[in-house]
Amino acid sequence: MQRKSIILIPPTHEQTVTTFHAEKSVAQAFLDYLKQNDVTPWRPPEEPEKSGPDGLQVVQIEVETSLSQERLQELMDTFLASARTE
């Protein structure tokens, strides 16, 4: 199974905004793609202090939007599909 370079983390009772964790190598392109689709970060993207167990560097992108989780998932999936074909 191929690892996803971006994951979507829905809001919870502790965090009210939706968060994407994107591999550092695709983070800027994904951020640009979100902005093209009128989704802007709630605050500047940041690199969490901890990385994944494999040492993978990620960028945390928090967004506050009226879009549904399904639409955000669709945007992420479309971006990932287009990135695979390039």
Each residue of 41-83: pLDDT tens digit? 999 999 887 766 677 889 999 998 889 999 999 999 999 999 8
Instruction: Burial-class residue 29 by CB neighbours within 10 Å (0-12, 13-18, 19+).
Output: middle
Helix (H, G, I), strand (E, B) or coil at 1: coil
Q: What is the DSSP letter of 56?
A: -
Q: Where are the domains positioned within the chain? A: 6-85
Q: What is the pTM of this model?
A: 0.85
Percent of the chain beyond pLDDT 90?
57
Structure tokens at 76: 């992420």
